[in-house]
């Protein structure tokens, strides 16, 4: 169990990752997709990784990454850098800028329980050719496996940020932390995280950045670097695909946009007009118009809460969707998710 004591300076700067880091995501995915539990979180990605393995270049990249990265557990921190979020190339450049001393220390620790091989020894010694080989493998593997699903991963991130922002607004920090993941528990001022390593740490004073990811693996991950915010990555499922708009009976009945609005409310349980607009990829005025029409049909209810109007399904709306996930009175399903801009939380 990792116990992270957060100071007021950290708690005043709790926010979410604005953009997914291509290389950081790839590093986690290379490891996480080897774990059977991840097939529940991101089955499409698991299938894609298996299919890509039939291609020669992608297969060689997979072999290289599986050899150099630990099969499970803690990854060397320098492989998930804060810098280089713009692209795969920028992320790999940030990795190459890591000092050889840090690479040696972190890779040696990661290899504590794996057999030594010539390539692993070269990697642990920060050999430039081994780092180049890693970079080429990441670039190839990202293109073959993650690129086709990148928009889904971004959407999942937006869904989760919107839901978390709503919990923060309605329930405060305690409600936010409590709803992140069963392995994360808030005992003020300590955040307890069941992760791959144990210890007691204090916050850096630069805040706490949260990253929901279907590729975190079975347990949350924590990255702590001096002078940086603490990064907490926690597992979430990817939302289930929705039926195609052109062949969807509900879309033909209500109109495609209103069917999407109804489904997004079913997924998250309750959304403000702004969050609903982002979830359905429409303007705020359009979201308000759709909610008004659905409310007139007794499919949605709307209530004012402070300066926002919150919308949720009625029992009739839930019944129309077949009691879908997150619908009032529905029978379980995936955790509530909503889409947002991914901007920092207050």
Is 277 contained in some domain?
Answer: yes
Assess whether 13 and 28 both reside in one domain: no
Last residue within a domain, chosen from 208, 235, 262: 235
Question: Which helix (H) or strand (E) is 235 found in, with range?
Answer: strand 230-235
Q: How far apart are CA 234 and CA 224, in angstroms?
A: 15
For 115-128, the pLDDT digits (tens) are 999 999 999 999 99
pLDDT higher for 24 or 334?
A: 24
Is 185 contained in some domain?
Answer: yes
Is 332 contained in some domain?
Answer: no
Phi, psi of 77 (to 5 degrees): -60, -30
Last residue within a domain, chosen from 181, 208, 235: 235
Tokens of 222: 């924590």
Assess whether 26 and 13 both reside in one domain: no
Output the domain CATH number for residue 277. 1.10.10.10
Assess whether 64 and 126 both reside in one domain: yes
What is the DSSP secondary structure assignment for residue 77, as one 8-state letter?
G
Is 8 contained in some domain?
Answer: yes
CA angle, 114 as apex, 110 and 118 as ends, to 5°? 95
Q: Which of 84, 96, 93 is nearest to 25 (CA)?
A: 84
Is 130 contained in some domain?
Answer: yes
Assess whether 43 and 130 both reside in one domain: yes
Look up tokens 């990148």; give the residue: 150
Tokens of 46: 């698991």
For 159-170, the pLDDT digits (tens) are 888 888 888 888
Assess whether 69 and 125 both reside in one domain: yes
Is 63 contained in some domain?
Answer: yes
Q: Rounded to whole angstroms, what are the CA distances from 267 to 125, 264, 323, 331?
A: 48, 5, 10, 13
pLDDT higher for 54 or 210?
A: 210
Assess whether 209 and 111 both reside in one domain: no
Say whether pLDDT at 214 is over 80: yes
pLDDT for res 329: 32
User: Which of 109-113, 224-228, 247-251, 337-341 is least confident?
Assistant: 337-341
Is 306 contained in some domain?
Answer: yes
pLDDT for res 322: 62
Assess whether 297 and 211 both reside in one domain: no
For 33-62, the pLDDT digits (tens) are 888 877 667 778 888 888 877 778 999 999
Look up tokens 């050889």; give the residue: 100
Q: Band of the pLDDT at 283, cuts 50, 70, 90?
A: confident
Assess whether 42 and 144 both reside in one domain: yes
Is 229 contained in some domain?
Answer: yes
In which domain, by residue range, is 303 found?
Answer: 245-320
Assess whether 254 and 314 both reside in one domain: yes
The pTM of the whole model exceeds 0.85: no
210, 184 Cβ separation under 8 angstroms: no
Assess whether 313 and 287 both reside in one domain: yes
Tokens of 215: 């590729």
Assess whether 41 and 102 both reside in one domain: yes
What is the arithmetic mean of pLDDT over 63-86?
A: 93
Q: What's the total number of domains in the chain?
A: 3
* 204 three-class SS: coil
For 130-152, the pLDDT digits (tens) are 999 999 999 999 999 999 888 88
Last residue within a domain, chosen from 151, 186, 219: 151
* 247 three-class SS: helix
Assess whether 126 and 53 both reside in one domain: yes
Look up tokens 């279907």; give the residue: 214
């Amino acid at each position: 169990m990792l116990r992270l004591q957060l100071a007021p300076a950290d708690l005043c700067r709790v926010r979410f990752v604005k953009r997914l880091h291509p290389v950081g995501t790839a590093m986690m995915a290379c490891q996480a997709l080897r774990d059977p539990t991840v097939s529940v979180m991101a089955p499409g990605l698991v299938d894609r990784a298996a299919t890509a393995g039939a291609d020669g270049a992608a297969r060689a990249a997979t072999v290289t990454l599986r050899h150099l990265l630990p099969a499970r557990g803690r990854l060397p921190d320098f492989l998930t850098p804060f810098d280089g979020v713009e692209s795969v190339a920028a992320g790999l450049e940030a990795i190459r800028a890591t000092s050889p001393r840090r690479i040696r220390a972190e890779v040696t620790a990661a290899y504590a329980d794996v057999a030594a091989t010539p390539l692993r020894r070269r990697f642990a010694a920060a050999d430039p050719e081994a780092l180049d080989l890693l970079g080429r493998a990441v670039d190839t593997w990202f293109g073959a496996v993650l690129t086709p699903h990148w928009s889904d991963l971004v959407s999942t991130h937006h869904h989760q940020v919107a839901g978390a922002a709503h919990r923060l607004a309605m329930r405060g920090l305690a409600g936010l932390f409590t709803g992140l993941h069963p392995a994360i528990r808030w005992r003020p001022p300590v955040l307890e995280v069941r992760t791959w390593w144990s210890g007691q740490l204090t916050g850096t004073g630069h805040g706490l950045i949260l990253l929901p990811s279907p590729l975190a693996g079975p347990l949350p991950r924590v990255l702590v670097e001096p002078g940086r915010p603490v990064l907490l990555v926690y597992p979430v499922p990817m939302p289930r695909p929705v039926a195609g708009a052109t062949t969807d009976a509900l879309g033909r009945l209500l109109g495609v946009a209103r069917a999407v609005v109804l489904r997004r409310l079913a997924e998250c349980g309750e959304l403000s007009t702004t969050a609903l607009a982002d979830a359905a990829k429409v303007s705020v005025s359009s979201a308000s118009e759709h909610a008004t029409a659905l409310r007139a049909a007794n499919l949605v209810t709307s209530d004012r809460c402070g300066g926002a109007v919150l919308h949720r399904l009625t029992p009739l709306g839930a019944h129309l969707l077949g009691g879908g996930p997150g619908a009032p009175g529905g029978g379980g399903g995936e955790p509530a998710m909503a889409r947002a801009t991914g901007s920092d939380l207050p």
